[in-house]
Amino acid sequence: MTLEIGMLGYRFMGKAHANALARLPMFFPDAPDVERGVLIGRDEDALRDAADRLGFSSIATSWEEAIDEVDVFYNLGPNHVHAEPSIAALDAGTPVFCEKPLAPTLEEADVMAETAREADVPAGCAFNYRFVPAIRYAKRLLEAGELGEIRHVRGRYLQDWLVDPEAPWSWRNDEELAGSGALGDLGSHTVDLLRFLVGADDIAGEISRISGHLRTFVEERPVEGDGAGTDETRPVTVDDAYSAQLEFENGAMGTLEASRFATGHKNDHTIEIHGSKGSLRFSLERLNELEVLREDNRGYKTILVTDEDDPYVDHWWPPGHVIGWEHTFVHENYEFLTAVAENGEFEPNFEDGLAAQQVLEAIEESDDAGEWVSLD
């Protein structure tokens, strides 16, 4: 059986997933056969060029028609188009893979998750950092109890692509299109990764209260392209950075942070987990490494997670030959498409996307109210 893929979106994430689909038969021979079928967008000329580059056999300017003709629907568009096409595809019984954050608002995410429950087909949310081999290695350590009782979690995601006030305006700077800024774009990854590592109940269900702070540093940005004048600007209506404190019912505590103004940080997603018997640290900028401290050690030990028996590594190169960011998408697509072919379960799913959105919503609510917010 060959699964025909319909993909909405062909820029950043479209390239990442198209590359992953092309690599699957080379490195994961047991993966389902897939056909890059229809590429969906608004601009026919740009679509034709993208379809040629990304290996799609046809194009469509209407997702409404495409979802009835494909076996799997990838929704990789901007946040404001996540809900309607994904819901329609699920209603038609078509498995859906949707970019994160699941939706611009908690209300839309809730509807999407409810639709996925009723559809009874795989509905994946694109938290690709779960599929880093070092993260999977860390998951094994935590499940084995090697860190003991978790006392503190830290997560930060730092980038610097908006430091320049003349950096052009994009849809990511608009609340109506994106929902939020660094909070949703970066913070959703951090919340999901901590949920995955420490356990969904420990992170989502057992947070007793949250204190959040959001900040916008540049209030407007220049507009480029589409005939925009040289002095035209648009307002920035989302946060450039956020921080949050978490209090857990079991007495543990946590801190979260993300910024697109962290000068010198290109894509630094760092996770720290501290327990009664040990700790671990991970940075996406060194994604083949995991730092681990056990109770009988005097300091952290750096583990290079590239051995053949490490998660996913047997599909790639000899030990010590590192993999990169793009490989996480290959792993993610392998797991999702296998679930589709076998009518199985896939995580992270829309429930995970909703859980992350609930935490993000509480952070925004706390910032608006200027006080701690309880989670029911």
Query: How would you write the chain as a 3-class SS string?
Result: CEEEEEEECCCHHHHHHHHHHHHHHHHCCCCCEEEEEEEECCCHHHHHHHHHHHCCCEEECCHHHHCCCCCEEEECCCHHHCHHHHHHHHHCCCCEEECCCCCCCHHHHHHHHHHHHHHCCCEEECCHHHHCHHHHHHHHHHHCCCCCCEEEEEEEEECCCCCCCCCCCCHHHCHHHHCCCHHHHHHHHHHHHHHHHHCHHHHHHCEEEEEEEEECCCCEEECCCCCCCCCCEEECCCCCEEEEEEEECCCCEEEEEEECCCCCCCCEEEEEEEECCEEEEEEHHHCCEEEEEECCCCCCEEEECCCCCCCCHHHCCCCCCCCCHHHHHHHHHHHHHHHHHHCCCCCCEHHHHHHHHHHHHHHHHHHHHCCCEECC
* Mean pLDDT over each residue of the chain, to the nearest integer: 94
Domain edges within the chain? 2-128, 130-322+349-369
Residue 336 pLDDT more than 90? yes
Average pLDDT over residues 194-216: 79
- CATH code of the region 2-128: 3.40.50.720
Q: Kind of pairing, strands 220-222 and 301-304?
A: unpaired
Quick check: do 2-128 and 130-322+349-369 share a fold? no
Average pLDDT over residues 232-250: 94
| Superfamily (CATH H level) for 130-322+349-369 | Dihydrodipicolinate Reductase; domain 2 (3.30.360.10)
Six-digit token string for 29: 């021979």
Average pLDDT over residues 281-308: 95
Q: Write the pLDDT tens digit of every residue in 124-139.
A: 999 999 999 999 999 9
Quickly state the pLDDT bin for 252 (edges 50, 70, 90). confident
> What's the confidence (pLDDT) of residue 251?
81
Q: How many CB atoms lie within 10 A of CB 164?
A: 11
Distance from the Cα of residue 372 to its chain's centroid? 26
Residue 205 pLDDT more than 50? no
> What's the confidence (pLDDT) of residue 206?
75
Measured between alpha carbons, how far is 255 from 245 in angstroms, rounded to an integer?
Answer: 5
Q: Write the pLDDT tens digit of every residue in 95-117.
A: 999 999 999 999 999 999 999 99
* First-residue to last-residue Cα distance in the chain: 45
